Structure 1
Amino acid sequence: MSKNLVSRPELIESTGTLGIQADVYTNSLTKNTRRAYTTDVCEFFGVSDLNQVPLHQVQSVTVASAMEFRDRLLAEGKALSTINRKLTSLSAFYTFLSRHEVGIMEYNPFSAKEGLARMRQNKRYSNTRCLTVDEVQMLVRVTMEGDDLEALRNRIIVLLFATTGMRRAEIVHILLGQIRRSHGKDIIEIQGKGDKERIIVISPTIKVMIDNYIKMRGLTYENKDHYLLASHTSNARHFEEESQEPKPISTQTVYNVIKKVAERAGIHADDVSPHCLRHTWFTEALESGIPIQDVADMGGHSDLSTTRRYDHTKRVIKNNPADMLTNKFLGMAD
């Protein structure tokens, strides 16, 4: 047992679990990070609630067992990005436990400094499907078919993905209080991946749609703590009663919306996803001539090489000489 743990017995629950420290940890995370990180930690320990994690099991984790977990995920065929995200979640958890005022661990077994290497991702391209302009227009047209709450909401979802490049988790957590005017533009101030803040500009056309949508729900921008996107049926009058605490639409619901819209538009649903629309935004933004550093900043990429993957993919395909050389070598060249 950690000597720090012995010296701070008031931090230990009588049940032998993390107890109150689990609540302290989750409260130290922002709302955008909390669900993903705690889910990863619970998965590692085989529990459904962080409060249930046994202290003895927490303290028994070593660099070797962390490596075994990483290698097992790899053997299961998990994506390298998924493995790295889970390792990051667990590293953040153990960094918290290693803090002096917590005193449950003396070191972080998931830290790279302790020898746990992350999976190297050498992909220079993105294999996510990029939609054409015509296909995006087809998606939007489908959402124009109705004038009820659900149709208007779905229209806003599709257009926010396609015109701003926001991530799914970022879109579902937009609060009405984050939408305002600045420098003559309508903007949304969001807290994105890694809890990094950034400004999203929305077009006047989409702002009008948003205005109409929140008005149909009986809300105004004074309802700052209400989420922009609501979960409701097409015949719902309001998102919720005044007495209820505002809740965001789920990321799964947004995923399902994109799939259903794609199916109705006649586009193979397996080829379309929220990230597919985000990819399309990156590709079109770069294609329009916006400097890659600006595109990276607007899209929330901290590493420019991530943005280059989108540019690299299109250039390799678009500029490939396969057709020209085929004609040449077959004697079909002009």
Structure 2
Amino acid sequence: MAIESFLAMLAAERGAAANTLAAYRRDLEGAEEVLGDLLHADRAALARLGQAWADLAPSTVARKASALRQFYGFLVDEKLREDDPSAALPRPVARRPLPKILSHEQVELLFRQAEEEAESARPPALRLLALLEMLYGSGLRATELVALPLSSVPRDAPFITVSGKGGQQRLVPVSTRARQALSRWLAVRPADGPYLFPSRGKHLTRVRLFQLLKELALRAGLDPAKLSPHVLRHAFATHLLEGGADLRVLQTLLGHADIATTQIYTHVDSARLVALVNERHPLAGGARGG
């Protein structure tokens, strides 16, 4: 079956994760329910999908159309079809929302609170500081951070090995501050289990990480609704870009397969610059005197 062959290619050649494969399967099989056998569908048939998808959000239509374009590209590459009818698919314009970020001042408040609590040398406080340093200092995803094995932290190099989406591994630099926080945590870490942040025989969960950060935000006088592991990852990326980091370097650090995903941060930085001009320019808020 063509869909099965396509999914097998995604798994073997692109390292697609199980959730990604399931999403592609749903989109392709959903289109097949409307059109019948996708292998023999023509341009006129694909054009009808626009009407079938009329009530869906533009982002959903874009995702479904992308799955079909990749599918038909695969069929052509594999000589299963001579033509690619996917040009007839709808192309909605979906604006990607800008990610939430924290200001430098808000980050400082967060770290000041975590560092003051870590002075107690209590294991929960030292763990929280290490988690915070890794989220903001290395830009890790929540799932990557909580599942870090103890063996991923080398003793003699400022890097850790991270297993990201699709099982793809990358080296992520660890700042001097983060290494110090990790060292303090390792000195009190329970000596059981293979994970860097163990919890109840396994590792700390994403849900618990969210809770810990929101509780810290409250204690630091910040709105907990504005803080999450992903917000700290966005802050890491945006603040690096503000400091002059190259977009390709940022793509590698974040583990993005496509540079287009990373480019969203250029829009965030541009929005920040516009806001800065509007707020701080001498002519802001009033007309120029004649």
Shorter-chain TM-score range: 0.5 to 0.7
> What TM-score does the superposition give when structure 2 sets the normalisation length?
0.67
CA contact (8 A) 2:99 2:268 kept: no
CA distance in 2: counterparts of 1:260 and 1:205, whole angstroms:
22
Gap regions ≥5 residues in structure 1: 6-17, 19-23, 46-52, 101-105, 233-238, 241-246
Gap regions ≥5 residues in structure 2: none
Q: Which residue of 2 aligns with 1:298?
A: 253
CA contact (8 A) 1:192 1:300 kept: yes
Match of 1:269 among 224, 232, 256: 224
Partner secondary structure for residue 161 of structure 2? strand
Q: Which residue of 2 aligns with 1:185?
A: 157
Match of 1:132 among 103, 120, 142: 103
Alignment of 1:172-321 (within 5 A): 172-180=146-154, 185-193=157-165, 195-214=167-186, 215-219=188-192, 226-230=194-198, 232=199, 239-240=200-201, 247-301=202-256, 302-303=258-259, 305-320=263-278
The answer to whether residue 145 in structure 2 is matched with residue 171 in structure 1 is yes
Partner secondary structure for residue 276 of structure 1? helix
Partner secondary structure for residue 140 of structure 2? coil
The answer to whether residue 133 in structure 2 is matched with residue 159 in structure 1 is yes
Amino acid corresponding to residue 195 of structure 2 in structure 1: Y
1:79-109 alpha-carbon deviations (Å, 9 max, x no partner): x3x776677789999999xxx9xxxxx99xx
Amino acid corresponding to residue 74 of structure 1 in structure 2: A
Equivalenced residues, count:
271
CA contact (8 A) 1:41 1:93 kept: no
CA distance in 2: counterparts of 1:90 and 1:250, whole angstroms:
35
CA contact (8 A) 1:26 1:34 kept: no
Give 1:271 deviation, angstroms.
Answer: 1.7
What is the Cα-based RMSD across aligned positions, in Å?
Answer: 4.6
Change in 2 beyond 3 A, CA 1:167/1:292:
same
CA contact (8 A) 2:15 2:166 kept: no
Change in 2 beyond 3 A, CA 1:316/1:208:
same
Give 1:200 deviation, angstroms.
Answer: 0.8
> What TM-score does the superposition give when structure 1 sets the normalisation length?
0.60
CA distance in 2: counterparts of 1:250 and 1:30, whole angstroms:
27
Partner secondary structure for residue 245 of structure 2? coil
1:57-98 alpha-carbon deviations (Å, 9 max, x no partner): 8x96868697678655418xxxx3x776677789999999xx
CA contact (8 A) 1:188 1:201 kept: yes
Give 1:118 deviation, angstroms.
Answer: 6.4
1:215-239 alpha-carbon deviations (Å, 9 max, x no partner): 52115xxx7xx23223x4xxxxxx5
What's the % identity of the aligned pairs? 21
Which has the larger helix fraction?
2
CA contact (8 A) 2:149 2:196 kept: yes
CA distance in 2: counterparts of 1:171 and 1:320, whole angstroms:
38
